[in-house]
Structures are given as C-alpha cells and as structure tokens.
Amino acid sequence: MTPFNRNFGQGKRTKAVRPDMNWEEITKAGNVYEPGNANTYETGDWRTIRPVWNKDRCIHCLICWRYCPDASIIATDGKFDSFDYKHCKGCGICANVCPVHAIDMFSEDEMDRQKEAKRNEE
C-alpha cells in the first residue's frame, strides 16, 4: 500500500480544484475554500436576451441592482456602473423594474446580427 498522503485537502488548503486532479489532490469532503468562487463560472451563455443600459435615462436609483437574482448589476460608489455579462442570464427583471425605462432588452441573435453587419460594413 502506498503511504497515505496526509496533505490532501488538509495541510494545504487546495484552492483551485481542476477536473483532472486525482482523489488525493482535491479538497477534503467536497469543501470549498474560496468563498464566492462561483463567479469564475460563467452563466452568461444562458442568455437569449440581453439587457442594455441607457445611460442618458438612468437615474441611478439601483432598483435594478436590488432585484437582480444573479448579482449581475455592478454598482460602484452607489451608482449604476455596468452589467456583468459573464453572469447575467437575461431574465429581464431589471428592465421590468426600472422606473424610467433605462434598460432595454435585445435578442442576443439580433445583437449578433447587428455586430456582424457592422463588421461587414467596416
């Protein structure tokens, strides 16, 4: 029997667990030692419609920030900053709760087509 590896998930708090790691290398008991590391997992590709910020209309009330289920509205210094498109799933709640219609929802297909068209023009 190979000697038991005392270090697995133990002496060293293995942080980044990769799919190719063997049983001695991954963390003990399924513990996760990096709080909030789900933000390295992207859910942006779930989206079929995309929120787009209309800067001119925005009054920075942050109702959209309050109601985003995915913490995907980034507020900086108490003001709307940007969308976190890596995680936004395109549920459309933010656009609905916005009292001044400063968020528009566009189909991702449409956005892609527009981008494509723009590239073709250039």
Partner 1 sequence: MKNKVAITGNEAVAQAMKQINPDVVAAYPITPQTEVVQIFSSFVSNGQVDTEFVTVESEHSAMSATIGASAAGARAMTATSSQGLALMFEMVYIASSLRLPIVFPVVNRALSGPINIHCDHSDAMGIKDAGVIQLFCENAQEAYDNMIQAVRIAEHPDVLLPVSVNLDGFITSHALDVLEVLDDETVKNFVGTYQPEEYLLDAENPVTMGTLDLYDFYFEHKRQQVAAMEAAKKVIEEVGREYEAISGRKYGLIDAYKLDDADMAVVVLNSAAGSAKGVVDELREKGLKVGVLKPRVFRPFPFEAIQDALKGVKAVAVLDRAETFSTLGGPMFADVRTALYDLKNDIKVVNYVYGLGGRDLRLEDVEKVYDDLANIIKTGRADKFVNYLGLRE
Partner 2 sequence: MATLKELSKFEERFVGGHRLCAGCGHGISVRMVLNAAEDYNVVVGCATGCLEVASTIYPYTAWNCSFIHSAFENAGATISGVEAAYKSLKRQGKIDKDFKFVAFGGDGGTYDIGFQSLSGAMERGHNMVYVCLDNEAYMNTGIQRSSATPMGADTTTSPAGKVIPGKQQPRKDLTAIMAAHNIPYAAQTSISNWQDVHKKAKKAFDVEGPAFLNILSPCPRGWRYNTPDIVELTKIAVETRFWPLYEVENGKWKLNYKPKKYVPIEEFLKPQGRFRHLFAPGNEHVIKAIQEEIDNRWLALLSRCGEPQELPAK
Interface positions with partner 1 (CB under 8 A) = 1, 4-6, 8-11, 13, 17, 19, 21-24, 26, 28-33, 35
Using CB under 8 A as the binding rule, whether residue 104 contacts partner 2 is answered as no
In the bound state with partner 1, the residue whose beta carbon lies nearer, of 31 and 96, is 31
Long-range contacts from 17-26, C-beta under 8 angstroms, 24+ separation: none
Kindly state the tokens that stand for 44: 């942006």
Burial of 94 (0-12, 13-18, 19+ CB in 10 A): buried
Using CB under 8 A as the binding rule, whether residue 8 contacts partner 2 is answered as no
Gap between the Cα atoms of 117 and 121, Å rounded: 6
Q: Provide the minimum distance between the beta carbon of 109 and partner 1 in the complex, in angstroms, as a whole number.
A: 31
Contacts of partner 2 in 14-33 (CB under 8 A): 16-17, 26-27, 30, 32
